[in-house]
Structure 1
Amino acid sequence: MPHAPQRRWELDALRGLMLVLMTLTHMPTMYSLPSGQPLGFVSAAEGFVFLSAFMAGRVYGRRARRDGLPAMQAAFHERALKLYLCQLGLLLLAFTVIAWLGVFNRQGGVTGLLEFFFIDPQAAVVGAALLLHNPPLLDILPLYIFMMLASPWLLRRGLRHGWLGVLAVSGLLWLGEQWGLGRGVYDLVVALTGLPIPYKDMGAFHWLAWQALWVAGLWLGAREQPWPRLPGWVLAPAAVYAGAMLVWRHIAGQDPLPWLPAVGLLLDKWSLGPMRVLNFASVFVLLMAAGPWLVRVLPRPHALELLGRHSLSVFCAHIVIALFTLAFFGSTQVVRPWTTDVALLLAAFAGLFAVAMLVEARERAGRRPGVSWRARSQAQ
């Protein structure tokens, strides 16, 4: 077996940072809105999805070259099954304990989040199991599962025939979503099958748009060539645009121009509007250029590495903690003392680190069944 390269700790640290930002955003405290999109009109979700795709391309691309395409496909399917089982566990918790607590405690944040379940429980449960009904907070893993199932074909096509065709089709699907392609497909399916799940209850993320972010990350992760040195004519516009978006975000707030909805569509998160994609690309370019220097001068963030190393477990834990917080303490609309919100956040992060440390200890003791993401990545 060829020598296994060291794990890229900086990628783990970035994923850990994305998990911290998502927790700050999803926890229903007074700090939720201010902490959202701190780097401009770019959220932690974009970073998390892109990094996950990049690492998938890196790990499974090596697996394909070393062990063959069937082994790569089997590894993808194994990971997708694990993600699906995690999603089923979160749904079971939400549709039972959390739903009951929301009604018992009269917490509108929970009953609103599970609105379709209370309207049509049977359709909600069946639809959720089929990844068609995706309540808020529970709509990220279905996107991840779908892309993990599609990735073997994408990676196979890219490695055998080049990535140009894959990227072109992905770009066309993203462009089509900007003009309502996803809603058109939904309307057609409803007309043919009578699907009872409303469009808004299928999840906030428009998959036809977000697949482009995944495909781009998968392509870059699967590259064997070293990163090229970016010229100044690329870095300068990226710095100007990223800086302008950063200032605009913190002056205007989350809604860029409330009186001009067209601009909001260009920066829309759920359909990855064009200006938002450009904002993400600008931040990515700057991070790629400054990354080696940052790795040298900044202290190594071991705490973030720990979270990123066990990102799936930590991600699921943050959803569970957010759901219980909603069920007991209410949504961001509930006025609470700032000390209570600080205590809730401290308890949430303590829970995340406890989960990460438990998983770490279990892996080191060799008691974790199956092949973990970490073990797979180190074995490549």
Structure 2
Amino acid sequence: MTLNGRDHRIDFFRGLALIFIFWDHIPHNPLAEFTVRNFGFSDAAEIFVFLAGYAAVLAYGKIAQRDGLLVASVKILRRAWVLYVVHIFLLAVLMGIVFFANNHVETRDLVQEMGLQYFLSNPQQALTDELLLRFKPNLMDPLPLYIVLLLGLPLVLPMLLRKAGYVVAASLALYLLAPVWNLAAQEGGVWFFNPMAWQFLFILGGAAAIHGQQPKAAQNRPLSRQPVFVGAVLYLLVTGLLALSWRWPQFHDALMPLWLGEYLYPISKTNLSPVRLLHFLALAYVAAKVVPHGNWLNNRVARQACRMGRYSLEVFCLGVILAPLADMLNALGGDGFVVKVFSALMGVGIMAVLAAWLDWNKRLNRK
């Protein structure tokens, strides 16, 4: 199979996920009430990892078909190395920003909230753990996960391009072992995003990229008569109602049977609980069916989101830096509603400006 061009809807949803991640990372941000995590079991992290797998397989799969697997593997490993260097640099910048902000905010201990107390109490071990990807303060978990997933991609890419079903089956088996298998983190802990679990979502994204290149038979039945679509919509409605009920414990207790609550909770994000995974897959399936290709991607807002999605690494790193700055601004502003909304929107604006500059710089280099 020959892999072709990219689906610009993928860029749009990656950009949207970056905005949601940034808003979710700002404590007590009013705009975070409108992100996907409030309306179901999954959140923007699932979107980001799934589309990362989609984009990686689409990009490096084309390189493998054109230039060979060796060239593709070298480029994947080079990309992983760049991410590793970025991770170390970003952590140093983040610590500097948090220490600076902590000196100006008297009502809270931002160092403790960001998980940086370990560095102050044991700096030598923290530096070693940073190099081994074991020291991951708040906001820093997605990047080490992506590094590990990329390092494993050359091992599965050849089979993924030929027999994606076999790779998905093997990935599922590894996912089922995730609750008893995780990587070590600082102070005897484990990774917040268990790579053994989240690799399944990454592989599913890659398999979706390959499946999207295959010719599809025309589907004449309306969506309301397609059982999978109807089932996905019903699951989204039920889980959305349940997630909203968490705001009102009495209503939730009346809605949730005791036996079902014991089975359902806790909904693990670390090990990508099956109900989280199923919620995201239902969301992705419905979005793929309902959101069309078309001119709507050419309007100004959609173009900005697509541009942010195309430069997801740079925009994500900037969001990690801006989140504690926005938190500091909110605290200095007395945590007022207007200040919180302003800081959240200003951060997205800065992220959009970075993406626009990177896009302009790329076109300039081509010329």
TM-score (norm 2): 0.84
Q: Which moved more, 1:45-54 or 1:29-38?
A: 29-38
Task: Tell me the distance in 1 between the aligned counterparts of 2:125 and 2:263.
Answer: 34
Question: 1:197 aligned to 2:187?
Answer: yes
When residues 253 and 123 of structure 1 are mapped into structure 2, their CA distance, relative to the original with a 3 A threshold, is farther
Partner of 1:25: 24
Where does residue 170 of structure 1 map in the other structure?
171
Distance 2:166 2:203 in 1: 12
Q: Give the SS at the match of 2:319.
A: helix
2:215 match: 226
Is the CA contact 1:16–1:305 (under 8 Å) kept in the aligned structure 2? Answer: yes
The one-letter amino acid of 1:215's match is: I
SS at match of 2:111: helix
**1:296 Cα shift?**
6.0
Name the CA distance, whole Å, in 2 between partners of 1:133 and 1:227: 45
Structure 1 pair 139–227 and aligned structure 2 pair: CA distance change class (3 A) = farther
Q: Distance in 1 between matches of 2:298 and 2:100?
A: 45
Equivalent residue for 2:70?
Answer: 70
CA contact (8 A) 1:16 1:304 kept: yes
Aligned to 1:318: 319
CA contact (8 A) 2:90 2:317 kept: yes
Partner of 1:359: 358
Q: Tell me the distance in 2 between the aligned counterparts of 1:40 and 1:63.
A: 37
Query: Within 2, Cα distance between the matches of 1:314 and 1:51?
Result: 15
Distance 1:236 1:20, change over 3 A: same
One-letter amino acid of the counterpart of residue 110, structure 1: V
The answer for the alignment partner of 1:45 in structure 2 is 45
Question: Following superposition of structure 1 onto structure 2, how do residues 1-380 of structure 1 map, counting pairs within 5 Å?
Answer: 6-31=5-30, 34-36=33-35, 37-103=37-103, 105-106=105-106, 107-113=108-114, 114-159=116-161, 162-178=163-179, 180-182=180-182, 186=184, 197-199=187-189, 202-223=190-211, 224-227=213-216, 232-253=226-247, 260=261, 262-265=263-266, 267-292=267-292, 295=294, 300=299, 301-327=302-328, 329-330=330-331, 336-366=335-365
Distance 2:243 2:45 in 1: 17
Deviations 1:262-291, CA, capped at 9 Å, x for gaps: 5232x3222211111111111111122223
Q: For 2:228 and 2:210, locate their aligned partners in 1 and report how far apart those are by CA, in whole Å.
A: 23
Deviation at 1:325, TM superposition (A): 2.9
| Residues 317-364 of structure 1 deviation map (CA, whole Å, 9 limit, x = unaligned) | 111101223455459xx9611011122112212211221122122112
Contact kept? 2:42, 2:279, Cα under 8 Å: yes
How well do the aligned residues superpose, as a CA RMSD in angstroms? 3.0
| C-alpha separation in 1, matches of 2:32 and 2:273 | 20
Amino acid at match of 1:11: I
Output the CA distance in 1 between the equivalents of 2:80 and 2:173: 25
In the superposition, relative to structure 1, how do residues 273 and 72 fare at CA in structure 2: closer, same or farther (>3 Å)?
A: same
Asked if 1 retains the 8 angstrom alpha-carbon contact of 2:3 and 2:210, the reply is no
The whole-number CA distance in structure 1 between the counterparts of 2:284 and 2:30 is: 26
Amino acid at match of 1:336: D
User: Residues of 1 paired with 2:239 and 2:278: CA distance?
Assistant: 10
Note the alpha carbon deviations across 1:105-161, whole angstroms, 9 max, x for none.
Answer: 45423333112212211111211121112111011100001101110111123235x
Q: Using the alignment, how far apart are the partners of 2:120 and 2:4 within structure 1? A: 50
1:152 maps to amino acid:
P
Contact 2:318 2:351 in 1 (8 A): yes
Gapped runs of 5+ residues in structure 2?
A: none
User: Could you tell me the percent identity over the aligned residues?
Assistant: 26
Deviation readout 1:74-125 (Å, 9 max, x if unpaired)? 1111211221122111111123343354256454233331122122111112
Count of residue pairs the alignment pairs up: 348
> Unaligned 5+ residue runs, structure 1?
187-194, 369-380
- Contact 2:297–2:303 at 8 Å: present in 1 too? no
Contact 2:29 2:341 survives alignment (8 Å): no
Supply the distance in 1 between the matched residues of 2:137 and 2:144 (Cα, whole angstroms): 11
